């Protein structure tokens, strides 16, 4: 059964796909964002509203009589959870985007300890949803997301919420297209790249279409639960590089560095010492979820979007805020390291 759906963050990479998936599934969708943006692939009938989710009165007004399901793509902390819960009387159920960043390993190591000596987390492979998480609190992105999760789960009887722990999100309209790491090198004619950790890093990606499918199923099957959100296969960084090269018709030598990056050399958006790979079986069991795409299959569309966005534009203007430019594109340091290595 479907009904009315209200999507906060609708014009972002997740929102665009999720609005489309919900509308095509029969929901009457209201697409909310501060700018009121739309997507050309949305079916007719999707209503857009401009609202800032941090403005309580405005969000309450935009919700009006309420909705059967609410998707929140931009909830980050306990305040956001409490804000949603204060509207529980007018929301049937919710789906809220969280992050794999909440996970800790059995020694309490996680995203927040990565830079510490021996701080790189060694998660089980794959990570089940029952794995431990950081203590909730206001300090970091991970602790705030944990607070968001715990507030919502504790109030599951008032507002059944599916929390989706997303991996490294990819797809068109990404504000942080990690593939830029390889794409820009190809556009710059770089014939070599260095990958730390032997190129074996695995940082579970998830395509927006797969998140949208999880949203669609959770909307139809409300519940108070946490689910991992990852693609069916988590490729290594070396495999991602090879797939990008193949799609672009570019050839580059990959030099593997055994250990961690040396300064900026060998670093990449996927460089993790030990794999972060999530178990996707629970979503299959609970929702009957089947992924709608894979990293490899979805790559040409994502790269097509990225190349079009980059055409005639400076990538720093597009993504400079999200991509730590100097760290990932320090060709001079890379060349020095390669020369020293002989
Ligand atoms: N990127 C990753 O790899 C990754 C990994 C794990 C989890 N996540 C999670 O993914 C979520 C981000 O989703 P996304 O990647 O789809 O983001 P996005 O592409 O940056 O889009 C964000 C959307 O939210 C809207 N928005 C931002 N602030 C708003 C506000 N205060 N009120 C109403 N609308 C607002 C934006 O439009 P306007 O600017 O017009 O408002 C836009 O539509 C976050 O919860 C993040 O923690 C991301």
The 10s digit of each residue's pLDDT in 52-99 is 999 999 999 999 999 999 999 999 999 999 999 999 999 999 999 999
**What distance in Å separates the CA atoms of residue 81 and residue 75, rounded to the nearest whole number?**
7
Q: Is 95 in the pocket of ligand 1 (CB under 6 A)?
A: no
- Tokens standing for residue 140: 């970091």
Question: pLDDT-based confidence at 321, cuts 50/70/90?
Answer: confident
Taking the model in full, what pTM does it have? 0.98
- 323 has a pLDDT exceeding 70: no
What pLDDT, in 10s, does the model give residues 207-217?
999 999 999 99
- 318 has a pLDDT exceeding 80: yes
Name the residue of 6, 10, 12 whose CB sits within 8 Å of the most ligand 1 atoms, as the mutation to test its pocket: 12
Cα–ligand 1 centroid distance for 9 (angstroms) = 6
- 22 has a pLDDT exceeding 70: yes
In this prediction, residue 1 carries a pLDDT of 75
For residues 257 and 266, is the Cβ–Cβ distance under 8 A?
yes
What pLDDT, in 10s, does the model give residues 118-130?
999 999 999 999 9
**What is the number of residues in the chain?**
342
Cα–ligand 1 centroid distance for 162 (angstroms) = 17
**What distance in Å separates the CA atoms of residue 32 and residue 43, rounded to the nearest whole number?**
16
The backbone torsions φ and ψ at residue 149, rounded to the nearest 5 degrees and listed phi first, read -60, -50
Q: Is 99 in the pocket of ligand 1 (CB under 6 A)?
A: yes
What pLDDT, in 10s, does the model give residues 175-194?
989 999 999 999 999 999 99
| Closest protein CA for atom 1 of ligand 1 | 169
In this prediction, residue 322 carries a pLDDT of 73
CA 99 to chain centre: 7
Q: Is 14 in the pocket of ligand 1 (CB under 6 A)?
A: yes
The 3-class SS string of the chain reads CCCEEEEECCCCHHHHHHHHHHHHCCCEEEEEECCCCCCCCCCCCCEEEECCCCCHHHHHHHHCCCEEEEEECCCCCHHHHHHHHCCHHHEEEEEEEEEHHHEECCCCCEHHHCCCCCCCCCCCCCECCCCCECCCCCCCHHHHHHHHHHHHHHCCCCCCEEEEEECEEECCCCCCCCCHHHHHHHHCCCCEEEECHHHCCCECEEEHHHHHHHHHHHHHCCCCEEEEECCCCCCCHHHHHHHHHHHHCCCCEEEECCCCCECCECCCCCCCCCCECECCHHHHHHHCCCCCCCHHHHHHHHHHHHHHHHCCCCHHHHHCCCCCHHHHCCHHHHHHHHHHHC
Q: Across residues 224-236, what is the average pLDDT?
A: 98
- Tokens standing for residue 11: 């014009």
In this prediction, residue 167 carries a pLDDT of 98
**What distance in Å separates the CA atoms of residue 233 and residue 275, rounded to the nearest whole number?**
12
CB-based contacts of 21, cutoff 8 Å, min separation 6: 209, 212, 213, 215, 216
**What distance in Å separates the CA atoms of residue 168 and residue 232, rounded to the nearest whole number?**
13
Name the residue of 7, 9, 31, 147 whose CB sits within 8 Å of the most ligand 1 atoms, as the mutation to test its pocket: 9
In this prediction, residue 342 carries a pLDDT of 73
Q: Across residues 34-59, what is the average pLDDT?
A: 97
Q: Across residues 328-338, what is the average pLDDT?
A: 94
Measuring CA to CA, which residue among 323, 231, 214 is closest to residue 268?
Answer: 323
Question: pLDDT-based confidence at 328, cuts 50/70/90?
Answer: confident
- 326 has a pLDDT exceeding 60: no
- 325 has a pLDDT exceeding 70: no
In this prediction, residue 315 carries a pLDDT of 87
- 324 has a pLDDT exceeding 90: no
Cα–ligand 1 centroid distance for 197 (angstroms) = 30
> Which residue has 């857009």 as its token pair?
48
Measuring CA to CA, which residue among 152, 131, 169 is closest to residue 81?
Answer: 152
Q: Is 9 in the pocket of ligand 1 (CB under 6 A)?
A: yes
What is the average pLDDT score of the chain?
Answer: 96
| Closest protein CA for atom 13 of ligand 1 | 73
Q: Across residues 106-135, what is the average pLDDT?
A: 97
What pLDDT, in 10s, does the model give residues 278-307?
999 999 999 999 999 999 999 999 999 999
């Amino acid at each position: 059964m479907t009904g009315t759906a209200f999507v906060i963050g609708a014009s972002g990479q997740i929102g665009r796909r999720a609005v489309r998936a919900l509308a095509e599934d029969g929901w009457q969708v209201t697409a909310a964002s501060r700018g009121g943006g739309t997507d050309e692939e949305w079916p007719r009938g999707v209503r857009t509203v401009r609202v800032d989710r941090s403005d309580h009165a405005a969000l309450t007004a935009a919700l009006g009589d309420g909705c059967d399901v609410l998707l929140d793509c931009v909830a980050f902390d306990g305040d956001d959870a409490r804000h949603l819960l204060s509207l529980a009387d007018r929301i049937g159920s919710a789906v809220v985007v969280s992050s794999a960043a909440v996970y800790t390993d059995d020694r309490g190591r996680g995203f927040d300890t990565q830079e510490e000596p021996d701080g790189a987390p060694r998660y089980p492979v794959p990570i089940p949803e029952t794995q431990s998480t950081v203590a909730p609190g206001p300090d970091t992105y991970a602790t705030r997301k944990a607070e968001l999760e715990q507030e919502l789960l504790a109030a599951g009887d008032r507002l059944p919420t599916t929390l989706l722990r997303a991996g490294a999100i990819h797809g068109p309209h990404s504000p942080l297209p990690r593939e830029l790491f390889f794409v820009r090198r190809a556009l710059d004619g770089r014939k070599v790249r260095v990958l730390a950790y032997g190129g074996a890093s695995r940082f579970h990606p998830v395509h927006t279409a797969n998140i949208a499918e999880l949203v669609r199923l959770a909307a139809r099957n409300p519940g108070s639960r946490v689910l991992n959100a990852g693609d069916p296969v988590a490729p290594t960084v070396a495999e991602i590089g090879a797939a990008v090269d193949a799609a672009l018709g570019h050839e580059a030598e990959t030099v593997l560095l055994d250990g961690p990056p040396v300064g900026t050399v060998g670093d990449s958006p996927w460089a993790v010492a030990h794999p972060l790979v999530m178990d996707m079986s629970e979503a299959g069991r609970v929702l009957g979820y089947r992924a709608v795409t894979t990293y490899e299959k979805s790559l040409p569309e994502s790269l097509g979007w990225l190349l079009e966005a980059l055409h005639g534009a400076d990538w720093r203007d597009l993504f400079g805020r999200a991509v730590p430019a100097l760290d990932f594109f320090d060709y001079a340091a890379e060349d020095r390291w390669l020369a020293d290595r002989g």
